[in-house]
Amino acid sequence: MASVAKLPRPTEMAHRLLSERIQEGDTVVDATVGNGHDTLFLANCVGENGHVIGFDLQAGAIEKTRKRTGNRPNITLHQAGHETLDDFIAEPIAAITFNLGYLPGGDKNLITDKESTLTALKKSVAFLEPGGLLTVVAYIGHEGGPEEGEAVSDWASSLDQDNFSVARYEFQNQRNSPPFLLAIEKRM
Ligand SMILES: C[S@@+](CC[C@H](N)C(=O)[O-])C[C@H]1O[C@@H](n2cnc3c(N)ncnc32)[C@H](O)[C@@H]1O
């Protein structure tokens, strides 16, 4: 018998969509670098001629990401809130990824916050180049998570269809409030 297919988790689906979209040499943003898994993935997608710009509030997250990615020259990390990304970015961006919630293995009280997340998302779509992709993985199992997830989903649903395509991916029958993925494409 053929091996049993396994549906991708939201984080895996985000990587699939991002890897289809990102070209070598692109400039992309990791809005929540955390332990650096997404940053490393993005750095591999854009290659040595591309650029990954990463943000996190926590010094520990920046340090872990630096270690995981081996200080590659195509990665620039900022210990700053993603809601200030317009202080650091001037050029159009091919892809931006958000992985909300708390740092696995870190301080569970330091979580992304509904208001700053919305500010950052609104600024992010303005920087996306035509055809660019924004992904958001939202976790709704921790305190504040459901409110943040709902606010992000409501905002994404309200984006003008002539300018953006918005899709949502999630498991429908999983216990314990599973995360969901929003994929937002800026139309050409
Ligand atoms: C779920 S973790 C990210 C996981 C990460 N993408 C990875 O691959 O390991 C969420 C991160 O968002 C960070 N964070 C919280 N608020 C933030 C903000 N306003 N700006 C940037 N990062 C923030 C937290 O410090 C935490 O490291």
Q: Give distance in angstroms: CA of 99 to centre of ligand 1.
A: 7
Instruction: Provide the domain count of the chain.
Output: 1
Question: Is 103 among the domain residues?
Answer: no
Determine the structural domain holding residue 62 and report its residue range.
Answer: 16-95+123-137
pLDDT value of position 109: 81
CA of 157 to the centre of ligand 1 (A): 23
Ligand 1 in reach of 26 Cβ (< 6 A): no
Main-chain phi, psi angles of 129, to 5 degrees = -80, 160
pTM, two decimals, is: 0.96
Q: Which residues pair with 70 in a beta bridge?
A: none
Q: Is residue 151 part of a domain?
A: no
Answer yes or no: is 41 within a domain: yes
Q: Is residue 177 included in any domain, yes or no?
A: no
Q: DSSP letter for 47, please.
A: -
Encode pLDDT of 160-176 as tens digits: 999 999 999 999 999 88
Q: How far is the CA of 10 from the centre of ligand 1 (A)?
A: 16
Residue 62 has pLDDT above 60, yes or no: yes
Total residue length of the chain: 188
pLDDT tens for 7-51 read 999 999 999 999 999 999 999 999 999 999 999 999 999 999 999
* φ and ψ of 56, to 5 deg: -160, 150
pLDDT band at 105 (very low <50, low <70, confident <90, very high): confident
Alpha-carbon Rg for the chain, nearest whole angstrom, is: 16
Tokens at residue 60, please? Answer: 């520990």
Structure tokens at 68: 């995981």
Q: Is residue 100 part of a domain?
A: no
Ligand 1 within 6 A of CB of 103: yes
The answer as to whether 158 is a domain residue is no
Residue nearest to atom 20 of ligand 1 (CA): 81
In a domain, residue 83? The reply is yes
| Residue 37, in any domain of the structure | yes
- Residue 110 CB less than 6 A away from ligand 1: yes
Does residue 2 register a pLDDT over 60? no
- Map tokens 């898994």 to a residue: 37
Question: Is the pLDDT reported for residue 1 higher than 70?
Answer: no
Q: Is 57 in the pocket of ligand 1 (CB under 6 A)?
A: yes
pLDDT at 108: 80
- Domain containing 88 — which CATH number? 3.40.50.150
